[in-house]
Amino acid sequence: MQDFLDIFDIYLLEAVLNGILLGGVLALLALGLNLVFGVIDVIWICYAELIMIGMYAMFYLVSGFGVSYWFAAPLCILLVAGLGAVLHLLVIAPLLSAPPINQLLATGGVLFFLQSFATVAFGIDFRNIGIQLPVLGIGEMHFSYARLLAFIAALVGMVAVYVFMKKSYVGTAIRAIAQDRHIMVLMGVDTRRVYLITSALGGALAGLAACLLVLLYDVHPFIGLSIGPITFLICVLGGLGNFIGGFVAAFVFAEIISLGGLFSDLEWGYVLAFGFFILMMFVRPRGLLARRS
């Protein structure tokens, strides 16, 4: 083991591995957004704000009411799933036949709303859930235990969604609608119900992400602005609605951020990642894994 480690610069290896862990979390973030886009053809610009609300729910449940983390997590997922369904019913459903850009802008309004709601209701302080997980040391490298947990949970969540989509009847209907939304109505599929289920599922994934992110970061009303853009970029980089593409893109992005952060500030890691994104849009406008047309 030690010989193997000696080949690499230890910090480089640590950055690469941390990038992989970060990639797992980013992949989970992208999954929910991709699901909603693939099926309903709508981009939730306020997706990260749903996560923020979930993080606040976790914070208040765990530190406020003393609920155990493992009991609070399902509650949080349920809550955000409900929010996703409500978002669909109130905002997206009336706009389904409007130009797609209007749906995007309307969820932009929801972004404003949720952000200010959090400011008004919870204040602008940074809040920490107060669960300190140990740091894992392998050789001379250090990994946050929370990140490892997040990575594993993200993988489990993704596999669960995959199985649901492949094996269950509703999952099959969802995939069918994603392929052709007009013909499925003629096949007797209730699109409204499928849309609602998909929205709830997208919300549930945001809720799961919230449970994990609350271990990694302090929550504040504007956290959505820092995790939102990167999630969208990953989805676009992977090809909107393309689950596997989003998965790959998440790891590519995470590595760029992690390695960029190794050589310079973390912000420059982000700048690099964003620049890479714009570059890739021109090389592969329909996503990393898309076939060239």
Partner 1 sequence: MNARYGAWLALAAVLLVALPLVHRDPYHLHIMVLILIWSFAYTSWSMMGRFGLTSLGHGGFMGVGAYVTALLWNHLGVSPWLGIPIALVCAGALALIVAYPCFRFRITGHYFALVTLALSGIVLQVITASRDYTGGSLGYTPEAATGSKLLALQSSDKTVWYFGALAVWVAGLLIWFLVDRSMMRHAMEAISEDEDAAAAAGVNVTSEKLKITVLSALMTALAGAVYCQYQMFISPDTVSGIAVSLQMVFAAVVGGLYVALGPTVGAVITILLAEVLRVGFGTRAVGWDNLIYGVLLVAFIIFLPKGILGSLLERVRVRR
CA angle at residue 58 from 55 to 59, to 5 degrees? 85
Question: Rounded to an integer, what distance in angstroms lies between the CA atom of residue 287 and that of residue 289?
Answer: 6
Length of the chain as a residue count: 293
Closest C-alpha to 131, from 221, 203, 219, 22: 219
Least distance between partner 1 and beta carbon 268 (Å): 5
Q: Which is nearer to partner 1, 4 or 282 (CB)?
A: 282
Among the listed ranges 101-109, 149-157, 184-192, 194-202, the one in contact with partner 1 (CB under 8 A) is 101-109
Identify the residue among 229, 251, 259, 289 touching partner 1 (CB under 8 A). Answer: 229
For position 256 contacting partner 1 by CB under 8 A, the verdict is no
Identify the residue among 8, 11, 71, 112 touching partner 1 (CB under 8 A). Answer: 112
For position 99 contacting partner 1 by CB under 8 A, the verdict is yes
Question: Rounded to an integer, what distance in angstroms lies between the CA atom of residue 254 and that of residue 242?
Answer: 18
Least distance between partner 1 and beta carbon 90 (Å): 8
For position 258 contacting partner 1 by CB under 8 A, the verdict is no
Least distance between partner 1 and beta carbon 105 (Å): 6
Question: Rounded to an integer, what distance in angstroms lies between the CA atom of residue 84 and that of residue 222?
Answer: 19
Binding mask 263-292 for partner 1 (x = CB under 8 A): --x-xx-xx--xx-xx--xx--x-------
Q: Which is nearer to partner 1, 221 or 246 (CB)?
A: 221
For position 114 contacting partner 1 by CB under 8 A, the verdict is yes
Question: Rounded to an integer, what distance in angstroms lies between the CA atom of residue 192 and that of residue 181?
Answer: 11
Phi and psi angles of residue 133, each rounded to the nearest 5 degrees, phi first = -95, 145
Q: At a CB cut-off of 8 Å and minimum separation 6, what does 271 contact?
A: 260
β-pairing, 141-144 vs 135-138, is antiparallel
For position 111 contacting partner 1 by CB under 8 A, the verdict is yes
Least distance between partner 1 and beta carbon 60 (Å): 18
Q: Give, rounded to a whole angstrom, the gap between the first and last alpha carbons of the chain.
A: 46
Identify the residue among 91, 194, 212, 248 touching partner 1 (CB under 8 A). Answer: 91
For position 47 contacting partner 1 by CB under 8 A, the verdict is no
* DSSP state, residue 95: G
Closest C-alpha to 33, from 203, 163, 265: 203
Question: Rounded to an integer, what distance in angstroms lies between the CA atom of residue 108 and that of residue 90?
Answer: 14
Q: Could you tell me how far CA 1 lies from the centroid of its own chain? A: 34
Residues 116 to 155 in contact with partner 1, rule: CB under 8 A: 116-117, 119-120, 124
Binding site residues, partner 1, CB under 8 A = 43, 90-91, 94-95, 98-102, 104-106, 108-117, 119-120, 124, 221, 225, 228-229, 232-233, 235-236, 240, 265, 267-268, 270-271, 274-275, 277-278, 281-282, 285
